[in-house]
Amino acid sequence: SADASVRLEEADVAACFRQVASLIPLHSTSLILSSCSGFAELGADQAVVEDLGADELCGNLLPAGACLAAHCYCGHQQGYFAGLLGDGAAVSLGEVLVPRGRLELNLEGCGITPFTRLEIGTGRKDLSLAVKEMLVSEALAALGVPVTRSLAVVKGIDTSDKYAPITCGTVLRSAPSFLRFGSFQVALPTDPVSGRTAPFPNQPDFLKRLADHCMNQFFPDLLQIPLALDEEDPDLAVAPRYLEFLLVVVRRTARLVAAWQCLGAVHGMLNTDNMSILGLSLDHGCFQFMEQTDPSFGGVGPPEMRRRYCYREQPGAALWACQRLAEALQPLHCCAPAEITAQVENVFCATFDESFVDGMRSKLGLNREDKSLRESLLALMERTGADWTRTFLALSTDPPTDACEEISRWCREQGASSKADWADWLSRYSSVVEEQSVTASERKATMSKSNPAVVPRGWLLDKACRAAEQGNHEEVKRLFQVLVEPWKMPKDPAEAFPKQATCQLESVDPARLGPKGTRVAALLENVTYWRDLCPELSLLREESGKACAQGFCVDEGRLASLKKILMHDGVCTVDPSQLAMEADIDLAALANSVEKLVSEGWPPSFIYIYDEAWIMAAKFRMLMQQLTGNDTCFDFLAFRVTAGSSGFSPHRDRPLGGLRGSPCAPASDGFHADGAPKYLTAWVPLVDVPASSSCLMCVPAHVDPFYKDANPGVNNPIERLDDLQKAKALPCSRGGALLFSHRLFHWGRTGDPIHSDGGQGLLRLALSFCAADDNFEPPRMSRRWLPLPPLQIRLSLAAAQTLAYGFRNTYSKDTMDICWGMFLASVDHFDASFACDLYKAVANLGIDVGGDEHQQQSEPPSHQDKLRATHAKIRKEASVRGVELKGVSEMGGLNFFCVTAVSPSGDLDLMEDFMSILKTETQNRLGIMIVSATTRSISLLAYVPDFKRSEVNAGTWVESAHATLTGDPSYEILSENTARGSVQLCSQCAEAVKRQCIESATDFLKRRNLFPDHDESESETVYYGDDDGF
């Protein structure tokens, strides 16, 4: 502007931006996507867009007049002031004059900038994240949400590090401005909580000129408002112009959040550095659209962010960010802190409520707001798990009462009571429509502008990202076109549906499915083969969903009795009459089908392919939730024990602390506060199992001294001859069930080979279903597939369970190879820890874990490929959380990394969350974890996600530990002996920290069998620890 009063001075420009001298070029560039509507805002027509090449759009060839600069800003992240952040992976190219004013061009994924933290990043953007940014932002634009536009995505290779070239993506973006709340936080004083200081503290003159610049450019009407109520003494009076500037930003932000809420969308990362000063939706790396209505849905970020920024908390999180902006602008508006905080809250809430109510009124097609109707709808959607997008789309049906079937189709709860509730609400909705005299055409016209048919669901984004990574640009463009036309049903209707409802998965490359890949791929899709194999059972039948929604009719009195017995004995028996399973499930058909599967060479657990097994799983899920609060963990098995044979030998299903807990965990780790076990098994016989067959035997909890004992070395309650008197038989009739705790000491009796009538002894057939507290043992796969997963998921789970329990001597090598391939087909949908453990179990079984002929001949990933992939994962997870990486160093040849990280806010919970995610990202292969209470840091020795073992000597461990500890001021290294494998710590180091180091490393070495060639007596040559060192 020519007006000197609003011109940014040179010093202010330095505060807002840092100049970027040049960009590192990308090689082998290719244009994946471009947005014609986005370029149209720049005044570029279709012909101009088509003439632009990848090099022009990724920064290799800059437009005339480009001025490269990176935005400078601070930010509050997850509630803590993080200090200076700035654009570490984006640059402004300058502004473009357009008919409506100016648009700033911004290149994301540009490479190194003055704000790039080289220890955690290269300034490049993962290709999949680049594609997601463009798909989400352009879909939001098509939905009418204020948003920064994405003009183009380019794929390329950064070869600046010749040892680790990076395949990445750039996004060319445009917006009137990319200024954020954090742009005004660069002048904050030292933060009293984190102790961090902004780069330009206490400079109100800079703040004033920046605010004046914003008003001049974007809110010129505000310049008519007086600067101060008392022009003679402005320092002692409220400055209405700057107060109104703040409140305009607050109102815009509130309207943006209301738009997200109406769409069932979650931004997922509402830090102040991700909040636009213009109220635009900005930075969509964690953005997600809700499917099943769940107020706790938090997008795709890390757990702490999902909780903080979930759908329910999203408006409050945005309000909190607005209040932080008010604090930053306090030198301008001069309001008292308590006063401005309250005023911002009042303005935000009033604006949000008005916008949300109006948006929901339009989504319901009404002329007037009906609060009771709206609130009852949202409560019903939450209770039944209705799909947000499909429900509102279905409500436009005429008459509304006809929408009941369509809405119920996409609900999590599909029982008769759920349908009845929906029928009642729809009847009430019809009455309100009639009362407001809204015609069918008016209602449909209003709703068609508010209720999209298609939104960027998570699975659609994943599909597009995979296509981009595989070089299938046409598929990415096709999906992009679907998403930017949200009001139309796509040619493939499944793309408008929630993923779990489609009963489909992406097709898989047979080359990825092990040595029997081609056959496995055919079996995964051949529904006819599996139906013909067991014709008495159902497979993917629509009516099966209704049976899943109906639980067992066990009254409250019987439930209380069962729970009391379970607490006392660790096991309780449920009679067939109390379950009445045969009303929905043909148990004889299940038993016959297990026999048919076995006769064809398939393991018994493949019975979980069929609907009847999943109907049973759904019913027992509800029963076990009622008894313990646990939820299904997908540890499902089928048992077939022939006459004269035994079941599993005496054992407990889980240690007190769970599979990955401490072997010395207290009893509280394995039990809820009310005494209910955190892991429960339902054992369900398909045939009568009397005491003469291979029935279960146990030592009841009340006579088992080790049931809640934390000593892992003492577990056997029947070591003495007299202890046999404690043993109890657990016969069970067909259609009944045994429910028992993970701590019950139990086994399968050796059945009588000859029956009492002189005939052959009895065959034992049974199914088992397990439920666990998620903190005790996470589910083996996502529960989003429930109640009736697609065929591929069912096959993968059945195969995984067969492999996990090591039935290597029971089935042919071909069968086990096929099981391995079936698991690989869906490995991405399983818990990473379970997948890692299964890989090791399969390797121990001697199964070929390589691919088929094509895969075996292809060149394996290079050392640098592995390093690059793991570095990228670690950097990404740290960046998302606001965790500061002090170092990521390679050790042990190809196998280990040493990661040292610090929480700027001193938040240990944040660091534990980072550690948990890193465990998952590195396939749960962690070595030593060092937690420093002094510096709030965590050091990790982590595997590269490469399953092949190689030699790692004691010196390697010690060298990395030494390097880590010497960088931590809370430790003092007195001496080290890399040949012996020892590091001597200062005696002042906390005993708990040393003990944690020792226990963690010992656990790693012993339980994960890192050194299979060393027996227990040799372990000190690998590692040893004592009171003073490790």
Q: Which residues are catalytic?
A: 273
Cα(868)–Cα(888) distance, rounded to whole angstroms? 11
Is residue 585 within 8 Å of residue 614, measured between CB atoms?
no
DSSP SS3 for 895 = coil
- Our CA angle for 784, 669, 935, nearest 5°, is 90
Query: Would you tell me the crossing angle of helices 314-328 and 337-364 to the nearest 10 degrees?
Result: 140
Cα(44)–Cα(705) distance, rounded to whole angstroms? 79
DSSP conformation letters of 294-335: -TT--TTS-HHHHHHTSTTTHHHHHHHHHHHHHHHTHHHH--
Segment (H or E) for 30:
strand 27-34
Is residue 879 within 8 Å of residue 129, measured between CB atoms?
no
Cα(863)–Cα(860) distance, rounded to whole angstroms? 9
Per the listing, tokens 């570029």 go with 44
DSSP conformation letters of 915-969: HHHHHHHTTT-EEEEEEETTTTEEEEEEE-S--------HHHHHHHHHHHHHT-T
φ, ψ for residue 729, nearest 5 deg? -80, 145
Cα(1023)–Cα(1030) distance, rounded to whole angstroms? 8
- Our CA angle for 936, 937, 943, nearest 5°, is 155
In 449-550, which ranges are continuous DSSP H helix? 458-469, 473-483, 499-502, 517-525, 527-533, 544-548
Residue type, 616: M
Residue 355 to residues 257, 258, 890, 899, Cα–Cα distance (Å): 9, 6, 52, 46
In 106-154, which ranges are continuous DSSP H helix? 127-142
DSSP SS3 for 567 = helix
Nearest to 365 by CA among 406, 417, 403: 403
Cα(409)–Cα(509) distance, rounded to whole angstroms? 31
Strands 631-632 and 896-902: unpaired
DSSP SS3 for 250 = helix
